[in-house]
Chain A
């Protein structure tokens, strides 16, 4: 399908933090736009990129999300210059850089694997890009590295070696190193995937804060939907080398363009439904159809866990199977007739009596429902 047009839904808010040191210097560089035109890349019989089109606005934070093998990393590497597409173009600020080597693209990249040079100190790692580009004197480079380390909160680790840092610290140094060369685009290739859960959340928030502060165009590849939805201006969901949808996180969650997106982003119940004249019937009630109706035939209603209401009812056809407490909300798995099982989120304070085995009635919330043709959906 064709990607949704690329207007950022959230403009970077200006001046969240005072301009100091490296941040001030970096802000002088306006973010440049990136455009991918009909990119195709094949590895043997595998089509990693299948005519990928994508527009990324200057200063935008775009996340590429998708299951393993969907082509998101290949797309990022094509932007970085590590993959030469079989066909198509990569445009940076309007200039065709498809044939420009990686070393001359002026991009900063943070890798999934730890990539700090083990023989160099933290400060020397950060100054590496400046050194190879012969920018400034040794003292200038040192000062710049210290500013960048200050920016990521590691100024006191300047003299240490990478093996003396934790994984989260190493990735923050890698981020400082990528930013030190004042790149036109920042590329993040699953930089948080090797970190533990708490550090991931901290670091992703910090990355977003820096991106807003610096206004740098950023492409963030991840397979973690929570990561993508929480930090990006827009999220592009990829499947089999193509974009299924590019939209703001809210739109992606509320109005997924395809069944695959609906299934991949967040939890989605798939409930057999009957199409009516402009509406759809499922779980014994009729609801308006959200967006375009599927072609006539068997259909399924796609309903989020918070889009179903559950009530304890001794005569109810459903039965609570499991109950998972998650703080403010509790997720119930409810078995319905015909082997259907749905997930329902309820406020924890209202869920005390909904214990496993409780008979319940399940009804859809009063809102339009997303409906898709009842075709099998690939596992994400």
Chain B
């Protein structure tokens, strides 16, 4: 061909600037100040508590340096990370196909699926865990000397309590579903998958080469939210009697309160870091789409 097209709409319009209403700036800063006091004062007090050297005065980072070597910390933290990883994998493996299927093939089921995924939020975790505990107590006796009983025991293995993974998958479902659903709706998945199909891609290829990359940010969002949830979950682990990172913090608080608070502060900062990362990824995605 001799001539291509040139200059076809290559200039992006400038971002319109909307004038704010008079006085809205003062309100904004007022709200920020109140929120800042609400969140930062307890955090600041906690940090001050952990770095104040009570014996010799001044400041010390000794509680933080003791964390890695604290008794039971590595096991509990490692277990929680493992539980979080397994929860992420199972939750995504379950929810992602559902979200994609609803978007592409069964849009009429969207409301029903949304309601189902909301159930864990409507049901108090305490009710859920009491039910789980009852089943765990009843099933091994009822199915004694059968594979079901063996399975029930395996679920409660203290080193890797799979039962926690299963409960966490349920608890994480509302967040995972919403994160993925938002991504699917924003990604124009129907058009992308049809384009890939039209170009000759099989469904497995479409999922691997098109859907997963297109939902990368949403998958990360869902994964981070799940990790944050598992690292902070205390009720279920405590009632079922497993040692995880949050239950270890409570245990440690009795013997070494300063160390316990230091771990809490680090845990809080870790969670905030994850959420900030999600926010940054989301902002980048929006900028990319703009």
User: A residues within 8 Å of B by Cβ?
Assistant: 17-18, 20, 23, 80-82, 101-104, 107-109, 111, 113-115, 117-120, 128-129, 132-133, 150-155, 161, 163, 166-169, 172, 174, 177-178, 181, 195-196, 198-199, 202-203, 206, 209-210, 213
Contact = CB atoms under 8 A, between A and B. Distances in A.
8 shortest A-B CB distances, which residue pairs? A153-B4, A129-B199, A168-B8, A119-B213, A168-B9, A199-B9, A115-B195, A166-B9
Nearest to A113: B191
B2 interface: yes
Give the one of A80, A107, A113, A203 with max B CB within 10 A. Answer: A113
B286 to A, nearest CB: 11
B235 to A, nearest CB: 39
14 contacts: A102-B197, A103-B202, A115-B191, A115-B195, A117-B210, A119-B216, A120-B213, A150-B1, A166-B10, A169-B8, A178-B199, A198-B9, A206-B5, A210-B1
Contacts, number: 121
A169 B4 CA distance: 11
B1 A151 contact: yes
Given A82-B194, A108-B198, A202 B188 contact: no
Contacts of A203: 5, 8
Given A17-B2, A128-B199, A115 B9 contact: no
A119 B214 contact: yes
Nearest to A199: B9
B23 interface: no
Contacts of A20: 1
Nearest to B288: A163
B8 A17 contact: no
Contacts of B205: 132
A119 B187 CA distance: 11
B206 to A, nearest CB: 9
Contacts of B289: 163
A210 to B, nearest CB: 7
B57 interface: no
B11 A109 contact: no
Contacts of B290: 163
B8 A172 contact: yes
B197 A166 contact: no
B11 A166 contact: yes
Contact of B195 (A17, A109, A154, A209): A109
Contacts of B192: 115, 117
A245 B246 CA distance: 73
B108 to A, nearest CB: 11
Given A115-B191, A133-B200, A153-B3, A169 B216 contact: no
B196 A128 contact: yes
Given A115-B194, A128-B209, A161-B288, 11 more contacts: A23-B1, A82-B194, A115-B191, A118-B213, A119-B214, A132-B199, A169-B9, A177-B199, A178-B198, A181-B200, A199-B8
Contacts of A181: 199-200
